[in-house]
Amino acid sequence: MNVYEEHMRNFLKVREFLRASGENSAFAMAFHKPVKWYGEHSQMEAVKLLREESEGER
């Protein structure tokens, strides 16, 4: 598996977690991050950062 595929897999897992938890604003923010960003952060770290960003947007 190449690096892009690994980052994309992380994005899909984060996206699914946020969708299932009903966090719509964090879910929307997930699509505004580059795929590379998901490789720089663990899945739970990415969820935490997206939640924090969506809180700041309100």
**Encoded amino acid at 34, one letter:** P
Q: Which DSSP helix (H) or strand (E) runs through 52? A: helix 43-57
- Please tell me the pTM assigned to this model: 0.88
Q: Per-residue confidence at 16, pLDDT binned at 50, 70, 90?
A: very high
Q: Which residue range is the domain that position 8 belongs to?
A: 3-57
What pLDDT is stored for residue 58 in this prediction? Answer: 58
Phi, psi (degrees; rounded to nearest 5) at 26:
-65, -35
**Percent of the chain at pLDDT exceeding 70:** 97
Token pair 């879910």 is found at 27
How many domains would you assign to the chain?
1
Q: Per-residue confidence at 27, pLDDT binned at 50, 70, 90?
A: very high
